[in-house]
Chains A and B, each alone.
Chain A
């Protein structure tokens, strides 16, 4: 009964087009942001439950934020523009390694021409953003096949990007600055003179990134470009006949999506992992991101968050619950159980609600608006 829009009159189109046109939603969002920006850091600073240890911040919240950012990127391409991609891990890797190269200084010896291109090490923020830009360029290149092929065939073509870049970063020592083990270390995190070291600082950094990117992405998908993407997704022939150029719409979707994924990749490497190997961005990562957007909700920014939370937290819960109940299980059994339960849950969800959690939530909201009188 509290969730009502009765009496909230909108007198301008700007009000009607707001992201959250219903006041109760705005209040809920405000509370959520307050908890995320103020509550969590405060609790963590004073080690109050559930932040007694750094586990929750390090192992759950930090990866959640970064992977949710990547999921937003994947959702723009797969959910909004309808182009299935299995190469998200590769674009994360491009973001991470480009940011790494730019952050440690780029030196391209062009012996044949008798000179070399050298760029001095850049600060962290430009490295990360330029890493995203490199991923966007790669995204456009690997998006070109989408003009000719669709659906599963396109997915296979993007799979080529995944394997190609896996190979490149493993085999071309230039990208890892000739590190003998192939593992590289992120440069010191330093934003405008502010060092980012403790888990709380890292958490806040990622939170700022994802808040800004989520707002920008939401603006894009509810604007003209977003409508073009969805039009291409829903019926490309009709889209073309109302004047949408498939070339422009598809490649912008690839570029924007890869940019966000690239930035997420750079954050994943710099802020979460610290030091990493190409394996961190393997095909497993691509599939994980794809599951996130499918389960969370294709074509929904909020769904990206829900999907990331589900995929990350569920395995941890499945690990914790038997221990809490005092059921002794061997680690192997737990791992197997995790796979079984996880797989069946995904199947069940996809059969019951193919549009993911985001659709479930919006149905719930619609019901709630009328509750308790469903007419």
Chain B
């Protein structure tokens, strides 16, 4: 894949360490994400990949280190502050609002963009209705883009897994994020669904210019999609570079295949 033209750094992680009691999930991890790129974070199970995402969007607070996002450095923040700043994410095991339709789930992603207060919403007239319709337009564009028109009114609990993942991506896209974190977007999918999802990820990156950080176990997908790959193992970053560089890296091969001691 062609790398983005700019080298402007959107997110910089510096010396982040995170421990749960005696378990050290992350040890002094540093890397950066450039504006407009697709950045993969890979590693064997338990390497600390999801913890890393949770640190980035404020769900975990690191014990050490700092994170600079869009030029602002902070040690910790709350999840809703991260979303306000323009970080969206999807989850490893789908975290949709099960009782709501696909449409409502994606509409919920527009929450931060909607301004009308309680009284206006209660009347649902004039400006409130206009706002609702305006956001519905934006959401319908996303629905169109993800090709889920047919299921927009279906409660998400009834949808198959692959479609749920797509709705979840839609909800994250509805936030119009600057940085999109995808936690194993293809886990549990068949080949066809994986291809669809890859296409959407590339399109999101090309079309909306969204910077994407993704965690994925399927190496073929990772190597094809991403511009740069960071490899974690036991909470330590062992490699960082283009897919080709990482593929040749001895530490990475050892981490994945094991090594005789």
Contacts and interface: CB of A to CB of B under 8 A. Distances in A.
A245 B137 contact: no
Contacts, number: 103
A293 to B, nearest CB: 15
B129 A242 contact: no
Contact of B116 (A17, A224, A243): A224
Contacts of B110: 224
A258 B210 CA distance: 43
B108 interface: yes
Contact of B83 (A14, A234, A242): A242
A256 B121 CA distance: 13
The residue among B89, B111, B112 with the most chain A CB atoms within 10 A of its own CB is: B111
A239 B79 CA distance: 10
B99 A241 contact: no
Interface string B85-113: 00011010001111110001001111110
A243 B84 contact: yes
Contact of B95 (A13, A17, A223, A237): A237
Interface stretch (A99-107, A127-135, A177-185, A225-233): A225-233
B114 A224 contact: yes
A363 to B, nearest CB: 12
Given A219-B121, A242-B108, A299 B128 contact: no
Contact of B97 (A220, A231, A252): A231
A234 B98 contact: yes
A318 B67 CA distance: 67
B1 interface: no
B150 to A, nearest CB: 15
A19 to B, nearest CB: 10
A321 interface: no
Contacts of B118: 220, 225, 252, 256
B122 A241 contact: no
Interface residues of A, number: 30
B208 interface: no
B16 to A, nearest CB: 19
A239 B97 contact: yes
B76 interface: no
B124 interface: yes
Contacts of A238: 91, 95-97
A325 interface: no
Given A242-B88, A243-B112, A14 B99 contact: no
A351 interface: no
Chain B interface size range? 35 or more
A228 B89 contact: no
Q: Is the interface of B mostly helix, strand, loop or mixed?
A: helix
B40 to A, nearest CB: 21
A239 B116 CA distance: 19
Contacts of B132: 17, 223-224
Nearest to A216: B122
Nearest to B91: A238
Contacts of B98: 234-235
B171 interface: yes
A17 B153 CA distance: 11
A234 B97 contact: yes
A240 interface: yes
Given A223-B124, A227-B107, A245 B99 contact: no
Contact of B122 (A13, A219, A235, A239): A219
Interface in B228-256: none
A224 B133 CA distance: 12
Contacts of B99: 230, 233-234, 299
Interface string A316-359: 00000000000000000000000000000000000000000000
Contacts of A204: none
Contacts of B97: 230-231, 233-235, 238-239
The residue among A14, A228, A234, A299 with the most chain B CB atoms within 10 A of its own CB is: A234
B80 A245 contact: yes
A224 B100 CA distance: 13
Contacts of B180: none
Nearest to B109: A242
B111 A228 contact: yes
A200 interface: no
Interface in A201-259: 216, 219-220, 222-225, 227-228, 230-231, 233-235, 237-245, 252, 256
Contact of A224 (B111, B171, B175): B111
Given A13-B140, A231-B100, A240-B79, 19 more contacts: A17-B133, A216-B122, A219-B121, A220-B122, A223-B124, A223-B132, A224-B121, A227-B104, A231-B108, A234-B97, A234-B99, A237-B59, A237-B79, A240-B80, A241-B80, A242-B109, A242-B111, A242-B112, A244-B111
Interface of A: 12-14, 17, 216, 219-220, 222-225, 227-228, 230-231, 233-235, 237-245, 252, 256, 299
